[in-house]
């Protein structure tokens, strides 16, 4: 997959974030938190991932880490220099650490994460001067679409849990 050449840089970001949002839909269909990630170099898709922590029983299988693993295999290199990662939710500290260690040049995210965001909301590990690599950050690309998807997911999950408790108490 390649980005159409006539797009402005802002439209290219939206193009790739839209693809990440489609991957978030895959995660949601599996019962995972709907987060998708896409790794791109020179306008071309290198790898992608979506949350798979529940389906794989792997606490590290966040969308970003899955995309990084797939990219490392595809490029046969653990260094992912001159790449951009697009992700629908601000990376957590684990994912931010992986992005720094893999030398991703730029991280573009949609929705901020006010609880665990490590690209400026709670921490800014991606640009910590103490580390040997810093990532450029672009935020709020398709923010409303991605934030609404996550909000609706957790709203549904809370309703399902409430209903399950109600059903459980009625059956007792």
Catalytic residue among 64, 76, 90, 160: 64
Distance of CA 55 to the CA centre of its chain: 17
Q: Is 64 a catalytic residue?
A: yes
92 in a known ligand binding site: yes
Cα–Cα distance list, 31 to 23, 25, 28, 56, 75 (Å): 13, 10, 5, 12, 30
d(CA 91, CA 24): 14
Is 62 annotated to bind ligand?
A: yes
| CA gap 21, 25 in Å, rounded | 6
HSE value, Cβ hemisphere, 13 Å, CA-based, for 74? 16
Q: Which residues are annotated as a binding site for Zn(2+)?
A: 62, 92, 95
Feature table: binding site: 62, 92, 95
| Catalytic residue ranges | 64
């Amino acid at each position: 997959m390649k980005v159409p050449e006539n797009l402005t840089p802002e439209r290219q970001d939206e193009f790739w974030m839209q693809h990440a949002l489609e991957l978030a839909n895959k995660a949601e269909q599996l019962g995972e938190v709907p987060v998708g990630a896409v790794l791109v170099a020179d306008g071309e898709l290198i790898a992608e991932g979506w949350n798979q922590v529940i389906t794989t029983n792997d606490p590290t299988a966040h969308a970003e880490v899955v995309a990084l693993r797939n990219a490392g295999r595809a490029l046969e290199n653990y260094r992912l220099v001159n790449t951009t990662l697009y992700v629908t939710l601000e990376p957590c500290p684990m994912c931010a650490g992986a992005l720094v260690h893999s030398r991703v040049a730029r991280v573009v995210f949609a929705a901020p994460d006010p609880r665990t965001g490590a690209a400026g909301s709670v921490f800014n590990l991606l640009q910590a001067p103490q580390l040997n690599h810093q990532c450029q950050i672009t935020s709020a690309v398709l923010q409303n679409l991605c934030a609404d998807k996550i909000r609706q997911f957790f709203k549904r999950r809370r309703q399902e849990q409430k209903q399950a408790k109600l059903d459980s108490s009625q059956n007792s």
